[in-house]
Structure 1
């Protein structure tokens, strides 16, 4: 067994398929477990018994290619549901209560100026407000009970869930807070566009702790600049970083974090337990729980 976690690398080193295949040969490995290294092509020419992707969606593995090569692929769906749900709540609180600009005022010594902080950062409490969840997968469900625990009325849109309460347009028109929890697919890519932002209530807050591909960023900027939206909080942007002149960076009613919703020690433990259990099942000739 060779343990070489990429989190221990400085700088980060992620292997492409050729380098990964060479590493497999060098270590005489017959099992590969990875999170972001790319498993495709030459990797499948090795005599692997199983590939484990510690991701909820094994996007780093060519699953069709592995299947054709007779190599089972196991993954860890829902591994980070609680972590991302907590991040969603953190983004909501930071955005709704002016935590980021308030901190900046304290650091800069600009607390008292033309207005008092009590005036600048006065806000509605979230208790009694309506939160609309777009997507009721593992993260959406984990977010739902947390927001209900804060006293929010939680509604949801998901065409594949019987417990969804609204269709998308009705949800957008009803919710004080819209929170995105869908996977990015051809069906959902760019689903929140200019038309959908316009359907939201004036002053509504937009949260996306999923992926930036779910919304049209130019339409989001427009809805914020016009004052139609009260604010936005995003844990992911296209390309992972924004150019320094991007308008979102200059807005006090925007909270941005660098794709860290799932960055907890608990997630690492959970995904490891899930993958190890499925690898052991395959080695024992049993059916794994989470096969891609």
Structure 2
């Protein structure tokens, strides 16, 4: 049997790349290495599959749908935790397994969440601005006066959602001496209700998946339940909280500081009131932007391709019914 050709348009590196190369001829052309950014539409991706003679496709940003599934593919691998870039029903109808990489970025997102929490709670951004402007001693004050804060050791962190990222964040917080309350109705090791988290936490951090149940779950009423001077962090999805309600809470001092890594539409309008607030740290959805994340998803997808080619059941398959 000829070795299959694997067209990989996702970032792919480390032992996972070597592992995939043991069972397939790899054509590696990650979208992320192109400047300006290159994304295939479904017709272009199908043409590239034909041109390479590929029977395995591994993608991250490219959408796999339509004519892609008219090809005789052995598998499609989405390097995302949730393979939202793949038309799962179409793949299933075509009998094509869809592999994915749940939890691939848990540590990366947990680290950025920690960075946002510390940067927000210790006023790092306004302190940095003062140094750069040569305005350290302003309005008759010294930095020690303006930037005092509570240490996190001994404080209470409240997590909303206890999936892979929530768990990765929890042990980091515990290692720093925080007491952690976690709310998740689907996690057996959650130890608090949402009301308890909101009322007791000095830091509230969102880690829930977006569902009809969780969308908009933190609004004005929930901010009112929080302790005065709470630090709020959301490195998951902005749709979990109400931006206007958060802005009002930041302006009033109810929320002392916030760290945010996601905005609906992936952009925050330049005239949004959050932009002008010195007590909020804003990052452009970079929680999972680590080389380790790429190594993790490479290993997970490669291992499952090896299993699939050996007639074994992949560990992470979105449509296992195609193997029946």
Q: TM-score range by the shorter chain?
A: over 0.9
Cα distance in 2 for partners of 1:206, 1:64 equals 38
Cα distance in 1 for partners of 2:283, 2:44 equals 31
Q: What is aligned with 1:17?
A: 42
Q: Gapped runs of 5+ residues in structure 1?
A: none
Question: More displaced, 182-191 or 149-158?
Answer: 182-191
Larger Rg: 2
Matched, 1:173 2:173: no
Provide the TM-score with structure 2 as the length reference: 0.88
Residues 207-226 of structure 1 aligned to structure 2 (within 5 Å): 207-226=233-252
The counterpart of 2:84, out of the listed 59, 63, 75, is 59
Question: Partner of 1:32: helix, strand, or coil?
Answer: strand
Question: Partner of 2:28: helix, strand, or coil?
Answer: coil
Q: What is aligned with 1:200?
A: 226
RMSD between superposed Cα atoms in Å: 0.9
1:220 CA drift (Å): 1.1
Cα distance in 2 for partners of 1:219, 1:64 equals 38
Query: May I ask how many residue pairs the two structures share in their alignment?
Result: 292
Cα distance in 2 for partners of 1:150, 1:188 equals 28
Cα distance in 2 for partners of 1:204, 1:225 equals 13
Cα distance in 1 for partners of 2:288, 2:85 equals 17
Matched, 1:5 2:30: yes
Question: More displaced, 217-226 or 28-37?
Answer: 217-226
Q: What is aligned with 2:134?
A: 109
Q: What is aligned with 1:99?
A: 124
Cα distance in 2 for partners of 1:170, 1:40 equals 44
Question: Partner of 1:239: helix, strand, or coil?
Answer: helix
The counterpart of 1:247, out of the listed 255, 258, 273, is 273
Provide the TM-score with structure 1 as the length reference: 0.98
Cα distance in 1 for partners of 2:129, 2:180 equals 31
1:243 CA drift (Å): 1.4
Cα distance in 2 for partners of 1:63, 1:101 equals 46
Matched, 1:124 2:150: yes
Q: Gapped runs of 5+ residues in structure 2?
A: 1-25, 319-324
The counterpart of 1:258, out of the listed 281, 284, 287, is 284
Q: Deviation digits for residues 152-186 of structure 1, max 9, x if unmatched?
A: 00010000011111111221111110011111112
Residues 67-106 of structure 1 aligned to structure 2 (within 5 Å): 67-106=92-131
Cα distance in 2 for partners of 1:190, 1:41 equals 33
Q: Deviation digits for residues 216-265 of structure 1, max 9, x if unmatched?
A: 11111121122211111001111112111111111111000111111111
Cα distance in 2 for partners of 1:247, 1:159 equals 34
Q: Deviation digits for residues 108-140 of structure 1, max 9, x if unmatched?
A: 111111121001100000011100011111110
Cα distance in 1 for partners of 2:49, 2:214 equals 37
Specify which structure has the bigger relative contact order, considering alpha-carbon pairs within 8 angstroms and separated by 6 or more residues: 2
Cα distance in 1 for partners of 2:109, 2:83 equals 18
